[in-house]
Amino acid sequence: MDILLHVARTGGSVALNVAPILAVLLFFQLVVLRRRLANPRRILTGFAYVLVGLTLFLVGLEKALFPIGRLMAAQLTGADVVGMAADAASVPWWAFGWVYAFGAAVGFAAAVAEPTLIAVSLKAEEVSGGAIRARSLRMMAAAGVGAGVAFGTLRIVTGLPLGYVLPILCVVVAFQALTAPRLMVALAFDTGAVGTSTVTIPVVAALGLGLAAAVPGRDPVVDGFGLIAFAVLFTIMAMLAYAWGAAHLAYRRKPPVTGTGR
Amino acid sequence: MGRQVQFLSRLALGAARDLGPLLIVVTLFQLVVLREPVPDLVGTLIGVALVMLGLILFVRGLDMGLFPLGESMAHAFARKGSLKALLLFAFALGFAASVAEPTLLAVAREAAHTAAMGGVIADTERARIAYALALRLTVAVAVGVALIFGVFRILKAWRTHYVLAAGYVGVIPLVAVAPADVVGIAFDCGGVTTSTITVPLVAALGVGLATAIRGRNPVLDGFGLIGFACLSPIVFVLLFGIILHGV
């Protein structure tokens, strides 16, 4: 009975949240563009699918994805995995090796199969005239997501303040944006944003919050978030670094292929 | 009938590809490293099944209705030639897509929960709902503004890499003055909101515009909008934190 009530309540909030996008599209289509809907029945059916699908997804997210992230954080910081008592006054950062390994594995595995990333890599190979290889770029981006989550968990364990670390990463990313081949910059920043997908985000978010709660001396309010940001920034950095390297190699071989975008 | 089955199995395959890598990694760690019984295994498996079923239906629904409509409209507005209508559409699209984004909904709820536990906001149901809603609306406005800005950039042919570099350096002073508990969530929100619903609609707008305007390369100019939509929430949520808690 409980779960039915929960599903009904989630369904109600989903309907409220999806209504605006439908309203926006219908308003601009009918009032501003003054065009008729090509296939109103199909759109309504699609809308019903979205409502039901989103409701089930959100219920499942609360029942499975968040708990998986929390559980992994709790278990991987447990006394027998870390190798010392969890309430010891200070646990050295290297004792949490399995946490970083898990972060890297989850980030890499989820990104490498991401359809958007595959499409973007192929496009990049095409526009770079072959200087950039689609497969290598995809591997670099996925490695970026993995490295991002791993370094993000390392940051939570060590407690380096986000207020110092994130500005440094921002400067690096900005510097790369100015020095990497022009045509790759927008591509890399777009990919960074989509590298963490719908299924990965809840698990990674819960992992960060769980870790901040489990590691002695960390406060979930201050340290729990930031993992996804690390994944985004590291993906951008990895892609731009690869593009920079590929452009320089290609330049050595035959000068005019890459370089400026326009 | 046969086609329906084939179609559904393709969708199921897509959902399995989304969930598969995650489940494989988690299972490996459970079997090799942890070797502990998983509490509430049945509940988790039911949840995973719900996530998969939900993804199948949800992606199918988007492909049937919202995406084709959104794409055809993005192209129509790009050709229409009315700047005011185009900018209004860009803002409304970004705002409404972010409001509908399921990951943002879930993460905002978690952020409100964490803030309540940590004593940043009152620990009542009402305060939490209000905080989560305010956070989501802030992000939605940020994405709307990012799209207005991105459309302007395409029209004016400003160089994307200068704008992005300036943006990422520009957030640093805000980080310095914002309260510590809002920094992580601000940077996360950008990555969280550029997800299932927002990305295809925003990409369609960018490519539609770059195709419609003469002298623009759809590949070069079509990209970058999502990058802005990821950067702008950082600025807006940091400001949200500064206004909410004071400096």
Is the pLDDT reported for residue B124 higher than 90?
A: no
Mean pLDDT value across residues B19-26 = 84
ipTM of the shown complex: 0.89
B116–chain A Cβ distance below 8 A for any pair: no
B77–chain A Cβ distance below 8 A for any pair: yes
Q: Nearest by CB to A182, from B161, B171, B190: name it.
A: B161
Nearest residue on chain B to A109, alpha-carbon basis? B21
C-alpha A230: how far from chain center: 9
B64–chain A Cβ distance below 8 A for any pair: yes
Q: Is residue B72 part of a domain?
A: no
Among the residue ranges A97-111, A152-166, A219-233, A240-254, the one predicted with the least confidence is: A240-254
C-beta atoms of B66 and A32 within 8 A: no
Closest CA to B83 of B207, B198, B183, B209: B209
Angle among Cα A66, A84, A216 to the nearest 5 degrees reads: 55
* Alpha-carbon dihedral angle through residues B144, B150, B154, B158, given to the nearest 10 degrees: 150
pLDDT at A262: 43
C-beta atoms of B169 and A262 within 8 A: no
Residue B155 structure tokens: 């029209």
In this prediction, residue B57 has a pLDDT band, given cuts at 50, 70 and 90, of confident
B22–chain A Cβ distance below 8 A for any pair: yes
Nearest residue on chain B to A210, alpha-carbon basis? B114
Q: Is residue B75 part of a domain?
A: no
Bigger pLDDT: A113 vs A50: A50
B99–chain A Cβ distance below 8 A for any pair: yes
Same domain for B57 and B164, yes or no, is: no
In this prediction, residue A261 has a pLDDT band, given cuts at 50, 70 and 90, of very low
Same domain for B120 and B187, yes or no, is: yes
C-beta atoms of B118 and A81 within 8 A: no
Among the residue ranges A69-73, A157-161, B15-19, the one predicted with the least confidence is: B15-19
C-beta atoms of B168 and A177 within 8 A: yes
Closest Cα in chain A, distance from residue B104 (Å): 9
Chain A environment of B191 (Cβ under 8 Å): 192-193, 196, 201, 228-229, 231-232
Q: What is the pLDDT of residues A111-130, one digit of tens each?
A: 887 777 777 788 778 777 77
Q: Is residue B127 part of a domain?
A: yes
C-beta atoms of A177 and B107 within 8 A: no
Q: What is the pLDDT of residues A189-247, one digit of tens each?
A: 888 888 777 888 888 899 999 888 888 888 888 888 999 999 999 999 999 998 888 87
Q: What is the pLDDT of residues A166-191, one digit of tens each?
A: 999 999 999 999 998 887 888 888 88
Q: Is residue B76 part of a domain?
A: no
Indicate which of A4, A198, A222, A239 best probes the interface with B, i.e. most B CBs within 10 Å of its own CB: A198
Same domain for B197 and B230, yes or no, is: yes
Q: Is residue B73 part of a domain?
A: no
Burial of B180 (0-12, 13-18, 19+ CB in 10 A): middle
Is the pLDDT reported for residue B216 higher than 90?
A: no
Q: How many Å apart are CA A159 and CA B92, to the nearest integer?
A: 39
Chain A environment of B48 (Cβ under 8 Å): 60, 64
In this prediction, residue B218 has a pLDDT band, given cuts at 50, 70 and 90, of low
Could you give the 3-state DSSP secondary structure of residue A133? coil
Q: Is residue B141 part of a domain?
A: yes
Residue where a domain terminates, one of B38, B65, B92: B65
Q: Nearest by CB to B219, from A29, A123, A225: name it.
A: A123
Domain containing B18 equals 1-65
Q: Is residue B214 part of a domain?
A: yes
Q: Is residue B224 part of a domain?
A: yes
Indicate which of B56, B59, B64 best probes the interface with A, i.e. most A CBs within 10 Å of its own CB: B64
C-beta atoms of B220 and A66 within 8 A: no
Closest CA to A247 of A127, A72, A117, A103: A127
C-beta atoms of B96 and A227 within 8 A: no
Q: How many Å apart are CA A184 and CA B160, to the nearest integer?
A: 10
Same domain for B59 and B87, yes or no, is: no
B212–chain A Cβ distance below 8 A for any pair: no
Closest Cα in chain B, distance from residue A158 (Å): 15
Indicate which of A189, A207, A262 best probes the interface with B, i.e. most B CBs within 10 Å of its own CB: A189
* Helices B125-156, B225-245: inter-axial angle, 10-degree rounding: 140
Among the residue ranges A252-261, B12-21, B49-58, the one predicted with the least confidence is: A252-261
Burial of B67 (0-12, 13-18, 19+ CB in 10 A): middle
Handedness of CA B235, B237, B240, B246 (dihedral sign): negative
Closest Cα in chain A, distance from residue B198 (Å): 10
- Helix (H) or strand (E) segment spanning residue B113: helix B102-117
Closest Cα in chain A, distance from residue B17 (Å): 7
Bigger pLDDT: B136 vs A254: B136
In this prediction, residue A21 has a pLDDT band, given cuts at 50, 70 and 90, of confident
Look at the pTM and tell me if it is higher than 0.80.
Answer: yes
What's the number of domains chain B is made of? 2
C-beta atoms of A109 and B103 within 8 A: no
C-beta atoms of B118 and A209 within 8 A: no
Same domain for B222 and B129, yes or no, is: yes
Chain B environment of A67 (Cβ under 8 Å): 40, 43-44, 47
pLDDT at B136: 94
Q: Which residues contact B235 (CB under 8 A, 6 or more apart)?
A: B142, B167, B170, B171, B174
Q: Nearest by CB to A200, from B22, B48, B227: name it.
A: B22
Question: Across all residues in chain A, what is the average pLDDT?
Answer: 83
Q: Is A239 left (phi over 0), alpha (psi -120 to 50) or beta?
A: alpha
Same domain for B15 and B130, yes or no, is: no
